[in-house]
Amino acid sequence: MDKVILEIRAGAGGDEAAIFAGDLGRMYQRYAEKRGWKFAVLDASPGTIGGHKTFIAQISGAGSFDELKQESGVHRVQRIPATEKSGRIHTSTASVAIMPVAEAKETHINPSDLDVSFFRSSGPGGQNVNKVSTAVRIVHKPSGLVVASQAGRSQHANREQAIMLLQAKLAEMEREKKDLELGGLRREQIGGADRSEKIRTYNFPNDRITDHRIGKKWHNIEKILDGDLDLIVKAFQRAENSN
């Protein structure tokens, strides 16, 4: 069974970017439910007026990586925010990363390279929330990577999830390093977009989603954001098969 890490971060656009990041998280969760995949939130940082500044989850299910790998990159939304009084359209962004869960043998982590700390969970998780420091934050000193998990009910569960997330990130860094050594071959392939590249625009005034890599457009934004990703997934599968 495939297991992938979904990481969404609000980008440019302040509160509206956080709301958009929340919309994307909900879209992937709904799609996972439709596909019968397991969806587990590992860590989330709420926005000021809704949505998420960061949202990290694990998706488990057959074909999950192949169906979602093209989602990595910067997603851009153009719409009138609920907080906008003059009716002006704002442009905001959120970055998405889809990373396969790494096998332990792929990424050896030296325990002495880790700075582990515990804190009180701020999210849902049962009666011990805000009473016991069950949430875990890990700093990987050689790379500077910081990961956290607070969705589990115990320090042990959260530490295991944080280590899994760290392994996925380290493996992704290693893949990106190899891609650069190969002259950017992966960046030219479908589903291998650089995280800093704007890959897709959600234009609400025109009810249109445009993917800039394959030049495809779809309508019914609300339906797609409610988890109806099938048309986009299939368009990428066709594009990949035609290469």
Q: Does 193 have pLDDT greater than 50?
A: no
Percent of the chain with pLDDT over 90: 44
Q: Does 25 have pLDDT greater than 80?
A: yes
Q: Does 54 have pLDDT greater than 80?
A: yes
Per-residue pLDDT at 128: 43
Q: Does 171 have pLDDT greater than 60?
A: yes
Mean pLDDT of 165-173: 83
Per-residue pLDDT at 176: 72
Q: Does 18 have pLDDT greater than 90?
A: yes
**pLDDT tens sequence across 71-124:** 999 999 999 987 777 888 999 999 998 988 876 566 678 888 888 888 876 654
Per-residue pLDDT at 174: 78
In order of their start, the domains of the chain are 3-102+186-242 (3.30.70.1660), 111-181 (3.30.160.20)
CA distance 174 to 101: 13
Tokens for 205, please give them.
């005034």
CA nearest to 30, candidates 71, 73, 59:
59
Give the DSSP letter string of 168-231.
HHHHHHHHHHHHHHTTSTGGGSTT---TTSEEEEEETTTTEEEETTTTEEE--HHHHHTT--HH
Q: Does 236 have pLDDT greater than 70?
A: yes
* Band of residue 231 on the pLDDT scale cut at 50, 70, 90: very high
**pLDDT tens sequence across 138-156:** 999 988 888 888 877 788 8
Per-residue pLDDT at 196: 57
Per-residue pLDDT at 126: 42
Give the DSSP letter string of 135-169.
EEEEEETTTTEEEEE-SSSSHHHHHHHHHHHHHHH
Percent of the chain with pLDDT over 70: 84
Per-residue pLDDT at 132: 61
Q: Is 37 helix (H, G, I), strand (E, B) or coil?
A: coil
Q: What is the mean pLDDT of the chain?
A: 84
Higher model confidence: residue 30 or residue 97? 30
CA distance 21 to 27: 10
**pLDDT tens sequence across 176-190:** 776 666 555 444 443
Side by side, which strands form the sheet with 38-46?
A: 38-46, 52-60, 3-10, 90-100, 73-79, 198-203, 208-211, 216-218
Higher model confidence: residue 184 or residue 166? 166
Side by side, which strands form the sheet with 135-140?
A: 114-119, 135-140, 145-149
How many Å from the N-terminal Cα to the C-terminal Cα in the chain?
Answer: 26
